[in-house]
Homo-oligomer: A and B are copies of this chain.
C-alpha cells in the first residue's frame, strides 16, 4: 500500500477511536468505500460503534467491500430494520451475493421485507446459478434506444444519472429490448443532436449468454480488454457484467487452481481465507491424503515385492527417497505448466502436440543431466561404478516418464471434461513415485548379479 493511503487509514482510525464524528464525516465525503472498509477491518468489534452513525447509503457502499462474514456481523449489529434499508441501497448483484450465502429461511424472510421492485430484481438474479454470467451480472444498467435522437439520449443519460462505473459503454436496444448496438459517451457528445442513435452506434456487440460459465465470461472480457459486457438471454439484454467482477473471478480461479494443485478441495475461493476454520480446512485436505496413504501402501507393496533384491543389496534403500522425490518433483513441474496453460485457454488443436513434443524433449534433457550427475555421485559415494550406472539409468528413465506423465495426465483429464487441476501435485507425485520405484527396482534386479 502507498504511504499516502496508509496515512489516510491511520487518520480515519484515529477519528473513529476518538468518536470524532465531524472528521469522519469529512472523510466519508471524499474517500473510497474500500478505504473505509479497510479502517473497519483494523478495528476491534467494540471500536466500531461510530460506523452506526453512517447513512444507509454509506453503509451499503461499505458493506459491498466486505466479505460475507464481516457483512453478516455488521448487519447483525445494526439490527433487522436498518439491515433491510441498507440491503435495498446495495447494488443488486452485491445484495444477491450476500443473500445467496444465507440460510434459505433467513433469505426468504429478508426478501419478503424488501420493497417489491428490489425484491423482484433479487429473486430474478437468485434464479441464475452463482457461477454463470447471470450470477455475476447486475440488472441495474442503462440503455439507449436505437430510434432516439442523440439529443434525447443525452437528456436521458442526464436524468437517469447512472453511476460512472456502468456508463462508459452505452448499449443500445431496439423496441423489443433486443441488444442491437453499442455507442461510447464520446461518440454521443460529438454527434449532431438530431442524429438517430442507430446511425452512430456500432452494430457488432460482443455479448455473453446468461448461462455461460463465469470463468469463460471473465476470460472473454480479459481477451478483448473490455470494461463491461452485456448479458443476453435469447436476444434480450438482461444484464451487464463489469470488469471488476471479472477480475474477482480470475483471482478466484487462480486461488482455486493453486489449492487443487496443492491437493486441497472444499472452497471455491481457497483456504487462504482465514474465515475458514481448522476443521473445515482439515476436511478439505484429508480426502487426498487418505487416498495417497493408500497409494503409499501400494508403493510399499512394490518394495515388498522386491524384498529379495533389497535384502541382498541393502544399500539400494539409500536411493529410494531420491528416486521417489525426483520423480514427483519433475512431474509437478510439467503439471504446473499444463494446468496453468489450460486455465489460460491455451493448448488448442495442434498446440497439444507441440506441447507434448516439447515436454518429451525436456524430459530427455532433464533425465540425461540428472542421470549422469547422480551416477557419478553414487559411484564415488558407494565405491561402485555398477551401482552408479544402475541408479543413473533408473533416474533418467524415471524422469523422462515423469515429465510425460505430468503433461499427458492433465491433458487427458481436460479432454474428459474432468478439471485438470484435480490431477493435483500429490496425485502426479504419487503416480510417478510408483512408476519410479518400479523402474528402479526392475533395473536393479536385472543387474543384480553385478551389484552383490
The CA-CA distance from A185 to B167 in the complex, in Å, is 9
A258, closest chain B residue (CB): B340
The CA-CA distance from A318 to B320 in the complex, in Å, is 10
Residue-wise interface mask of A (226-253) relative to B, using a CB-CB cutoff of 8 A (1 in contact, 0 not): 0100000000000000011011001100
A300, closest chain B residue (CB): B318
Instruction: Indicate which residue in B162, B289, B292, B319 contacts A300 across the interface (CB closer than 8 Å).
Output: B319
**Interface residue tally on A, bucketed by range:** 35 or more
How close is A253's CB to chain B, nearest CB, in angstroms?
Answer: 8
B258 touching A244 by the CB < 8 A rule? no
Contacts A157-B189, A209-B2, A340-B258 given; does A325 touch B433 at CB 8 Å: yes
Residues of B within 8 A of A429 (CB): 325, 328-329, 429
The CA-CA distance from A285 to B370 in the complex, in Å, is 11
Residue-wise interface mask of A (346-386) relative to B, using a CB-CB cutoff of 8 A (1 in contact, 0 not): 11000100110011011001100110011001000100000
A366 touching B264 by the CB < 8 A rule? no
A221, closest chain B residue (CB): B247
B189 touching A162 by the CB < 8 A rule? no
Residues of B within 8 A of A330 (CB): 285, 289
Q: Which 4 A-B pairs have the closest CB atoms?
A: A262-B336, A296-B322, A272-B341, A164-B184
Judged by a CB distance under 8 angstroms, whether A271 is at the interface is yes
Instruction: Indicate which residue in B154, B185, B333 contacts A264 across the interface (CB closer than 8 Å).
Output: B333
Residues of B within 8 A of A225 (CB): 34, 165, 244
Judged by a CB distance under 8 angstroms, whether A279 is at the interface is yes
Contacts A162-B186, A292-B325, A433-B325 given; does A362 touch B282 at CB 8 Å: yes
Instruction: Indicate which residue in B325, B333, B370 contacts A299 across the interface (CB closer than 8 Å).
Output: B325
Residues of B within 8 A of A285 (CB): 330, 333, 362, 366
Contacts A286-B366, A303-B321, A337-B272 given; does A329 touch B278 at CB 8 Å: no
Within 8 A of B (CB), among A152-170: 154, 157-158, 161-162, 164-165, 167-169
The CA-CA distance from A345 to B396 in the complex, in Å, is 40
The CA-CA distance from A126 to B71 in the complex, in Å, is 45
Residues of B within 8 A of A261 (CB): 258, 261-262, 336
Judged by a CB distance under 8 angstroms, whether A388 is at the interface is no
The CA-CA distance from A360 to B293 in the complex, in Å, is 21
The CA-CA distance from A369 to B257 in the complex, in Å, is 26
A292 touching B164 by the CB < 8 A rule? no
Judged by a CB distance under 8 angstroms, whether A452 is at the interface is no
B220 touching A31 by the CB < 8 A rule? no
The CA-CA distance from A162 to B190 in the complex, in Å, is 12
A168, closest chain B residue (CB): B168
Q: Of the listed stretches A81-89, A117-125, A199-207, name the one at the interface; the rest are far from the partner chain.
A: A199-207
A321 touching B340 by the CB < 8 A rule? no
- CB pairs A–B below 8 angstroms (30 shown): A1-B216, A2-B220, A5-B206, A30-B202, A31-B204, A32-B206, A34-B225, A158-B189, A164-B168, A165-B227, A167-B186, A168-B168, A254-B254, A255-B344, A262-B337, A272-B340, A273-B346, A285-B330, A288-B333, A289-B326, A293-B326, A293-B374, A296-B319, A296-B326, A303-B317, A310-B314, A320-B321, A321-B321, A324-B325, A329-B429
Judged by a CB distance under 8 angstroms, whether A79 is at the interface is no
Judged by a CB distance under 8 angstroms, whether A404 is at the interface is no
Contacts A203-B30, A325-B433 given; does A310 touch B300 at CB 8 Å: no
Residues of B within 8 A of A293 (CB): 322, 326, 370, 373-374, 377
A358, closest chain B residue (CB): B278
Judged by a CB distance under 8 angstroms, whether A263 is at the interface is yes
